[in-house]
Amino acid sequence: MSDPAQLPPAAQIALAAYSAGEISAEIALMRLMLALSDDAAVFKFLHQLNAGDLLRVAAKNRAGLARTAALVRSGLARERKGSIAAIRDQFDSAAALAPEAAVALYSLGSPETLDRSSAEIVDRLREWELFGASAVVLDIGCGIGRIERALARHVRSITGIDVSPVMIGEARARCADLANVDFTVCNGADLATFEGQRFDLILAVDSFPYLVAADPAIAARHIAEAAELLHLNGALLILNYSYRGDLELDRAELRELACLHRLAIERDGARDFGLWDGATFRLRKR
């Protein structure tokens, strides 16, 4: 398979995007893994193609790639439509198999890569002045607590919620030394648990796609309730709204929801990250 034309179309698109500088090596390898479902096949193709940079990144993450391939082969890396309960079970199983890859497949199972991605997200939050020492933060879909570890020292407090008890267990263990961090298993249907509380920042890193896949009405409810929970001038940051592959549809839906709940859109599907290809939607309560 040394000829890229022999690859599945999704893999060909990934290689073309990487060659054009549109995506990182990690994203390209993730897409190759999703297309080929086997780490040995990925390595074989990269050797045959003499893909130097991609091959170096793959070799550096060889053990993680094997765990990522196992996740892909199990079907747990694919977006699952259906009930919140089905999504919860998917993430429980994925976290038990490969925690880093379960929360960000492009990490290729590497804690170091996941930390770099988390640090890049926090750097953008700082640039956008979304937090300070007095900030109270809510993280929807916190996974294994990677954002909490990266952000905790910069804010007053941060609460992470997730539908997956296994993810929350991992998060609590990984953040046990952080006194201003709390984790809660949520129902995934709403934010009613926090009624009466107020936050300066509510963020959702790659979690809304699962709400949209389960039922767009659930995603809409989260935005409505987030708007109520924010302080005046507080921000709702959604990094990836869906995996539908239609950014214009995502923009249209969020514009409608933002207008309905008096949120000003400050970033409308921008690509703000180098390592990750997530789309930024930044909304402000005015």
Q: What percent of the chain lies above the pLDDT cut of 90?
A: 87
pLDDT (0 to 100) of residue 1 = 46
Fold category of 113-285 in CATH: Rossmann fold (3.40.50)
Q: Which of 14-18, 22-26, 76-80, 176-180 has the lowest mean pLDDT?
A: 76-80
Tell me the sheet residues that pair with 265: 283
pLDDT tens digit string along 10-69? 889 999 999 999 999 999 999 999 999 999 999 998 988 888 899 999 999 999 999 999
pLDDT (0 to 100) of residue 80 = 67
pLDDT (0 to 100) of residue 2 = 54
pLDDT (0 to 100) of residue 49 = 84
pLDDT tens digit string along 113-147? 999 999 999 999 999 999 999 999 999 999 999 99
Q: Are 158 and 178 in contact (CB under 8 A)?
A: no
Domain chopping of the chain, boundaries: 4-109, 113-285
Average pLDDT over residues 71-97: 88
Beta-carbon count within 10 A of 15 CB: 21
pLDDT tens digit string along 225-236? 999 999 999 999
Q: What pLDDT band is residue 5 in, cutting at 50, 70 and 90?
A: low
Is residue 280 pLDDT above 50, yes or no? yes
Compute the mean pLDDT over every residue in the chain, rounded to the nearest whole number: 94
